[in-house]
Amino acid sequence: MKSSSNDSVEVLKEIAEAKSETLEMIYRNCYLPVQRLVINNSGTYADAEDIFQDTVTIVFRRARHDELQLFSDTNICTLLYAIARKLWLQKLTYLKREIAVGQEIEGVFEMPQAIENEIAGLESMKQRICQKHFLQMTEKCRLLMKLFMKGLKMKEIAEIMDFETEDQAKTTKYRCKKDLANRILNDKEYKALL
């Protein structure tokens, strides 16, 4: 695992580019400690997967904002673990789940303020829940919503996705959006944030 300053910056740049090999490498090297942390502290395997995704997404966002200097001195696995730990602790607090005494919920390293804000900000928390539910939608809905986010007009979306009419695309988008909104609004964690 890369660990020098330059190497860390290089890995972070590749995360910002969502380079598949790098994402796979960090999954292989950094995921299991995070899984252990979650499992040992009232979580499930699914929780561990969600937390790791949230963690990488936070690093991805900061790296795309050219804030690589925030992490240049830190080994990537240590950084991911520290962020995951904060996220999980916060989630446990919101869900009022038990934190196993004497286990790994202890300080790791000084977290940059930008990351702290990213983790604890109410809107960021809601955004993470929204993204989690997005992944659970059908492939068709995900594609349609992504094209919409890219700023494509309904007419263009209809053409790309082989809808017969623009209205058909609009109706499908409405159904997909309603499905997503219902999933989010019924999420236990989201409810706790309201």
Partner 1 sequence: MEDLFEKVNRYVEGKMEPAEKLDFETKCQHDPKTAAALKLWTDLDELDETDEAELRLREQLKDIHQQLYSKKSADRSRFFFKKSYWIAAASIAALLILVISISILSLRDKPTGNEELFALYFKPEQLMQISRSAGQPFAAAVRLFQQADYAAAAASFSQLLKQDTANYRLMLYSGLAETAAGNYEDAITAYQDILKADANLYSGYARWFLALVHLRTGQTDTAIEELGYIAHTKGHPFNKEATELSAILKRRK
Query: Footprint of partner 1 on this chain (CB under 8 A)?
Result: 1, 18, 20, 23-24, 27-37, 39, 45, 49, 52-53, 56-57, 60-61, 64, 77-78, 80-82, 104, 106, 108-109, 126-127, 130-132, 134-135, 142, 145-146, 148-151, 174, 177-178, 180-182, 184-185, 194
Nearer to partner 1 among residue 10 and residue 36 (C-beta): 36
Q: How far is the CB of 97 from partner 1 (least distance, A)?
A: 19
Nearer to partner 1 among residue 9 and residue 145 (C-beta): 145
Q: How far is the CB of 164 from partner 1 (least distance, A)?
A: 23
CA distances from 47 to 41, 52, 53, 102 (A): 11, 9, 10, 21
Q: How far is the CB of 178 from partner 1 (least distance, A)?
A: 5
- Nearest CA-CA partner of 55 in 22, 23, 21, 83: 83
Distance CA 71, CA 37 (A): 22
Distance CA 84, CA 108 (A): 11
Nearer to partner 1 among residue 116 and residue 174 (C-beta): 174
Q: How far is the CB of 102 from partner 1 (least distance, A)?
A: 9
Nearer to partner 1 among residue 82 and residue 115 (C-beta): 82
Q: How far is the CB of 185 from partner 1 (least distance, A)?
A: 6
The string of DSSP letters for 124-179 reads: HHHHHHHHHHHTTS-HHHHHHHHHHHTT--HHHHHHHTT-SSHHHHHHHHHHHHHH
Cβ atoms of 145 and 137 within 8 Å: the answer is: yes
Distance CA 116, CA 52 (A): 16
Cβ atoms of 55 and 80 within 8 Å: the answer is: yes
Nearer to partner 1 among residue 20 and residue 113 (C-beta): 20
